[in-house]
Chains A and B, each alone.
Chain A
């Protein structure tokens, strides 16, 4: 039976004293949820729903760009699609999905009974719903959804209709939710580790999330400030960014990217953590260079605060500014390289098998690194002058966000879903999902490098005819990629959630290590109610 969809109470045979609680059942179980596993499940389902919504918008964009000329949407609606695709994917899909992973796995990995603040956990999930409704609902407001790009650059935002205010409000709520989630994760990790689980014995997923949570707490208020100033510029006659009143539109960009650059690491660090769990498990060999992995993650996080203006090389920065941000950005390649080398050293002379989680992890390393290389190229200010705001940038950040974050999440899903649901996913279908996603992903985004080099600007509803072939290819790939994710949901995720499939062993992966594999599959509703006694490596429960 599945721990995910079945009502509470089935975990009776685990002797953890579930019967002592009278946890609500039916809809109350979810609305009043305080259990980290239930909340994690809801986060993941919410994120997948938003992934589909954002995906439909992406397909709207690709359908319009299939051929030159406007066939399906007008340019105004096209801009709404690109804007909302970005906002929904970043704030609705990727960030909540990782919080879902954290909710499920952090307490299990550190031997904690639940998250530190169970009711705040409930609130931070349920805040997402009105925010998402408001964001998606903005399409039906007068003038349509915000169309100023996901970066919401002033002063274009000042021209937007009322939906801009709805969007700003939604972002405020999503930000509040993220901050609460982050505080919860920090407090849980710092205070609720089982005795013997020292920080430097903690699984890397918990480490990357600890660092990510600090990043979130540091930068979400900065975004809130930027969009609040936009709001007051729009309605209360201030002129922070409005040049008509002496405001500075470039100031908006500085503030936004001070949030925005750490944000991209917020979206990738937890994926690093997942891959660092999956690769050793299937190489049957301990993670190489654990300590340097932790330090590399921390270095990336710290450097992420001093590179923001590499998004702004074309705004007309002084020479020294361009040089500083170019050097700082290129420095990030060093700790990121260390991570990739460590993963490969973990594989080296291992005893590898390639079940679906490992395929996703290796796919992640391979394709994410390509995104890393284009990142290095874009970091070079003189080349960036050519490529800024072209499809090259679009290709780059989809290589790190789709092939990076999303592939990392799929690795995590296939790796941990046996623990969540108590059944094994269908291996053949998992492999079909992986290979079709990998192939279609590259068909979609690889040609965009060429479009960018040739100078096709991004956010264009129509384009010169010389760009037609690559656009057509990308559109075909996009539809294939979208269908692959529907396939995943219908034929992999749903059956697993319904408990269909081979029963999962307590530790279905031969080489996996960690406390999550010390409890039965599916994980009982309550785990580690009394702190477990750990062995010296803090990966096994003794006694």
Chain B
């Protein structure tokens, strides 16, 4: 079969040239993104896992069969179209059925279909085998970011959120994004995994359905709220690999990319070590009593990362999204109202629940909204109050 795939690669290359010639060049300065899309890419991503390689082979195989059938069937049709024309004096024949022919062209496609299904079956079985993983990571889809928790294996206990780089979202809004190779694919915290290890990704979602897709690994799995699904990959190369959310999940659907960084075993061990130390250092003590200005400063960051996408940096909201400026809930002297809104969500989930944020982050962002723009309440929410409200 290597002949077949190399043939397909040649065809792909030839059509690449053709395609490049046809297409106008809009994004002049953009280069291929290794591990992500290539400029005017015509084929599946270069496979980095066995499954992805099998998928690509299957695709070439089916494509080749389809091309052969296509040429045969439409060869006959176009021959007929050019030869059997009235203008060329063709007289119409009288036949209109033939049991033998009709049985033949029912049975032959049936056999071809079986020939297609057999190799596919093997891959389906391999894809679904998520047992014996070296590392299990839970990925949670949020509107609109991914959360990663290392559940089992080296790095157990690490957990973080992964959000699209804010400048990219701004570039998108500006309507004139600068030529950027990883446009809309750059995140603050990539998912880090070791090379040549079986990684099981356990998926769920917090609000609506999302889908976790990394084309180079050949995986795509919906993340279902209220349910747990899984998929797996074993990356055979180190490097950066990219994907995007593949299930419509609301307005920022296009802005929750996936970035997987595959490291060698020693590099991964180093990363785990660094991550653990950083977590220990930055872990907020929920009992700590904060000053207003430091809490507002902290809250500004939390707001930019989580809230500004909808409520805007100006706090004015947009369309159905409520303004925070002069909002009765924000200004209310009873702080528990706003805390409850953040913990449980509102408006049927249009305002999602944010209980995945830490107590300190929630306290900070609430304090920030209560003391920003024209909201000058002077109210201060301490992490302890959020802790109390969680119960």
Contact = CB atoms under 8 A, between A and B. Distances in A.
Nearest to B126: A382
A73 to B, nearest CB: 11
Contacts of B22: 473
B271 interface: no
B24 interface: yes
Nearest to B253: A459
Given A143-B320, A390-B246, A250 B224 contact: yes
B226 A288 contact: no
Nearest to A338: B106
Contact of B220 (A161, A243, A314, A473): A314
Contacts of B171: 69
A365 B77 contact: yes
A248 interface: yes
A353 B81 CA distance: 9
State the 8 A-B residue pairs at the shortest beta-carbon distance, nearest first. Answer: A243-B226, A316-B229, A454-B41, A469-B23, A382-B123, A349-B93, A455-B215, A466-B37
Nearest to B51: A382
Given A159-B250, A334-B113, A385-B220, A344 B80 contact: yes
Interface hub of B66, B180, B225, B253 (most chain A Cβ within 10 A): B253
Nearest to B177: A69
A393 B176 CA distance: 28
Contacts of A435: none
A168 B309 CA distance: 29
A352 B40 contact: no
Nearest to B120: A380
B116 A75 contact: no
A286 B245 contact: no
Interface size class of A (residues with CB under 8 A): 35 or more
A266 to B, nearest CB: 24
B348 interface: yes
Contacts, number: 349
Contacts of A287: 96
Interface stretch (B27-35, B262-270, B290-298, B382-390): B27-35
B76 A348 contact: yes
Nearest to B219: A385
Interface in B239-272: 243-255
A214 interface: no
Interface stretch (A29-37, A320-328, A419-427, A480-488): A320-328
Contacts of B85: 351-354
Interface string A175-213: 000000000000000000000000000000000000000
A49 interface: no
Contacts of B116: 330, 376, 380
28 contacts: A70-B172, A74-B318, A149-B248, A155-B207, A159-B207, A159-B208, A243-B225, A247-B226, A285-B92, A314-B221, A322-B128, A326-B120, A326-B124, A348-B76, A349-B80, A352-B80, A382-B124, A383-B55, A389-B220, A450-B42, A454-B215, A460-B244, A462-B172, A465-B181, A465-B183, A466-B40, A468-B30, A472-B23
B199 interface: no
Interface in B342-381: 348-350
A469 B18 CA distance: 13
B33 A386 contact: no
Contacts of B86: 284, 351-353
Contact of B30 (A330, A386, A460, A466): A466
A366 B80 CA distance: 14
Interface stretch (B3-11, B56-64, B148-156, B278-286): B56-64
Interface in A317-369: 318-319, 322-323, 326-327, 330-331, 333-334, 337-338, 340-342, 344-354, 362, 365-366, 369
B27 A143 contact: no
B102 A350 contact: no
Contact of A344 (B43, B76, B181, B230): B76
Contacts of A76: 251, 319
B101 interface: yes
Nearest to B180: A465
Given A69-B174, A377-B59, A347 B44 contact: no
A522 to B, nearest CB: 27
Contacts of A327: 117
Given A319-B128, A351-B90, A158 B348 contact: yes
A221 interface: no
Interface hub of A243, A331, A461, A511 (most chain B Cβ within 10 A): A243
A83 B58 CA distance: 33
B140 to A, nearest CB: 13
A114 B96 CA distance: 31
Contact of A380 (B58, B105, B245): B58
B150 to A, nearest CB: 21
Contact of A350 (B40, B80, B177, B224): B80
Given A68-B183, A286-B96, A455-B44, 4 more contacts: A67-B26, A289-B97, A290-B96, A457-B253
B131 interface: no
